[in-house]
Amino acid sequence: MDSFFLHLLRDPPLTYGQLAIHIIKKLCKTSSKRIDLIFDKCVLPSIKDIERDRRAGLLGRNDVFSIIGEEQRQPNDFLQALRSDSFKAEFVKFLVKHWKTSIPPGILGNKILRVNCEDTCYMFDEIDGLVKCEIDQILYSSHHEADTRILFHISNLPDSTNVVIRASDTDILVIAVGNVHKLRNKVDIWIETGLHSKNTLRYISINDIYTNLGDVLSKALPAYHAFTGSDYTASFARKGKIKPFRIIEEYPNIANIFASFEHSQEISEEQIQGIEKFVCCMYGRHNANSVDKVRLDLFLRNHGGFVSQAKNPLDKVKNFDGSLMPPCKKVLINKIKRMNQVCAIWNYATEAHPNFFDPERHAWRLVDGRYEVEWFIGPQTPSTLREICEFPTPDIDEEDEVFHSASSDEE
């Protein structure tokens, strides 16, 4: 399970020492003989900076926390404090340090607990009433996110193991399905989600999802999820996940394009064209191949009107919402670059030491120690009248010819 487990704690004890024992008691209530508690490695700067800043809210991510002893009182709002990188890093270090010396006999029993702190994985077990702590060298890794480290732990399990991942993050499900084919061992993976108290507890079989989707769609899932919106990348307004996924089910060539994004830093022209076709389909233009033409076409259809008859042509576009149109080509290319980097991180999930790409080569930019999205490269608007006049003409139907010509005449 990942750090999501900590967010399920209700009415935690007042001091850090009591809280540490409370957590391990909760962990050991499970019937599993092996428990892996997996945390993020807090790295700054990170391409997840924007998302983490949003989650932290009024509590700054870099507020400094220091845990000096087991009798120290934990913050009044423990769950809010977990949104701080500083607090989370300090708390994980405290847990490991405290558990090394202070786990009461009988709590672990026949269970083995593994917990990572930064790159190191510690293993706790109980032999003849004595709790021992060792470093599990096999599980030493440099993953930044618990989401991918979970798959690395799973890849090192013995064959015929049943694995239950306690998490609520869609990213984990996507990473698991996308990496099933890479697992050298034969394990059955389940996602546990929901709450027993609310009758929402469910178990989702990763293996069944992989079998039902098939090899190509399963491999395409990480790139598809990263492109349509994740913790790292922006989503398309009002498009969701289900309807766009039906497109890659309908068009095998588009599915193959998404599946082709694995570990390469280079993006081919074929991949760009395939993704551009997918975006055109998302916006209802299945016969189009140019997002720029689709963008112009949608604008003219919805906001052009017979502007020549209007007293103020701007009245026709005053309620214009640009987020409802597809991105232009140069914005799309940068979005593909970001998707490629995130997809590579996820596809390295089963490796001990992923190859992290340079974010500044993949459409992020470093500003004041934080990575921000670089939406596009170049000027925002045309600099000359010639560039405006040479803008590509959208594909139109005969029934729209008068509508479009009226708009053109006004220009």
The β-bridge partners of 134 are: 123
Closest CA to 258 of 292, 211, 225: 225
- The one-character DSSP state at 290 is -
| 9, 59: one domain | yes
Predicted local confidence at residue 396, as pLDDT: 44
Q: 255 and 140, same structural domain?
A: no
251 in the same domain as 207:
no
Same domain membership, residue 200 and residue 72: yes
Q: Tell me: do 294 and 263 sit in the same domain.
A: yes
Q: Which of 172, 343, 178 is nearest to 261 (CA)?
A: 343
Q: Which domain holds residue 263?
A: 215-410
162 and 274 housed in the same domain? no
113 shares a domain with 10: yes
What per-residue confidence (pLDDT) applies to 7?
A: 80
Please write the tens of the pLDDT for every residue from 327-375. Answer: 999 999 999 999 999 999 999 999 999 999 999 999 999 999 999 999 9
Residue 393: predicted pLDDT: 52
Domain check: are 202 and 221 in the same one?
Answer: no
* Angle 344-345-351 from CA coordinates, rounded to 5°: 100
Residues 158 and 267 in one domain: no
Domain endpoint, select from 184, 213, 242:
213
Pair 255, 341 in one domain: yes
Per-residue pLDDT, 57: 62
User: To 10 degrees, the CA torsion angle through 176, 96, 354, 245?
Assistant: 30
Question: Distance between CA atoms of 296 and 322, rounded to whole angstroms?
Answer: 11
Same domain, 160 and 192: yes
Q: What is the pTM of this model?
A: 0.87
Domain count, the chain: 2
Query: Hey, what are 337's tokens?
Result: 């670059």
Q: Which residues is 123 bridged to in the sheet?
A: 114, 134
**Which residues, given as ranges, of the chain have pLDDT below 70?**
1-3, 56-62, 303-319, 385, 387-411
> Of the residues 213, 229, 261, which one is the last residue of a structural domain?
213
- The DSSP output letter for 105 is T
Distances (CA, A) of 355 to 154, 336, 345, 405: 19, 19, 8, 53
Q: Give the pLDDT of residue 398.
A: 39
Cα(162)–Cα(144) distance, rounded to whole angstroms?
Answer: 25
126: which strand partners? 131
CA distance 39 to 42: 9
Same domain as 252, residue 178: no
Write down which residue in 159, 190, 213 finishes a domain: 213
Phi, psi for residue 110 in degrees, rounded to 5: -95, 15
The torsion angles phi and psi of 112, rounded to 5 degrees, stand at: -120, 125
Instruction: Check residue 302 and give its pLDDT.
Output: 72
d(CA 25, CA 164) in angstroms, rounded, equals: 18
Task: Name the nearest CA neighbour of 262 among 213, 215, 222.
Answer: 222
pLDDT of residue 6: 83
